Copies of this chain bind each other. A is one copy, B any other.
């Protein structure tokens, strides 16, 4: 089925956006449903749920937990849709290998799965735009670039792996604005954890992201790096639990929570 990308996806309600994905649309969600919180998804069997929740507690910058479902449930307190069909794309992991990237996970869903919804930096992009800070990958209509770093997360039980970051280039004179605006959203990764030289994070080539698409970094711009909710999926890849389902990077769960719910005064 072919579903066209709407002209102004930022104006869609979460329910409308989820409906388009359920009908078959598969695109990154950056810029969609302005003002509504987007979330990373990781679903694991109940027996591995403690490790994921503890990993999140120990790595709060990259894994701010917004909600956790009861085993087998397909909706959550902040996600009125169906977690198996209402994201634009999924990755199914078997023994840590991304076996399949699919539009729908009803076939592989299990009754013992616990789903974690984890804050996403797309949430603060509307606030950046409002403050006059352009977001390159939104302008380009591409996915945000994400990189594995050389920083290890604090392990939890069987889960360990590298910190993953997203990158947005910002003109030098707006770096302070970008820090100020995003630091008010600690539940969705907050302030950048690194400003400037990618090598300091062990990133060799900004042009070759591990997830998402590369973006241009122009003269006079500084790359800003935020902790990224793909981090738990990188831990799944590194630690190889038997089964897990994640969102496809950049293709988030659009929730019924407002961005302003995560704003601190």
Contact = CB atoms under 8 A, between A and B. Distances in A.
14 contacts: A49-B50, A50-B50, A50-B53, A53-B53, A53-B54, A53-B57, A54-B68, A57-B57, A57-B65, A57-B68, A58-B68, A183-B265, A186-B264, A264-B264
Chain A contact-residue range equals: 10 to 19
A218 B33 CA distance: 51
A20 to B, nearest CB: 30
A79 B58 CA distance: 15
Interface string A177-219: 0000001001000000000000000000000000000000000
Given A49-B50, A53-B57, A58-B68, 11 more contacts: A50-B50, A50-B53, A53-B53, A53-B54, A54-B68, A57-B57, A57-B65, A57-B68, A183-B265, A186-B264, A264-B264
Nearest to A265: B183
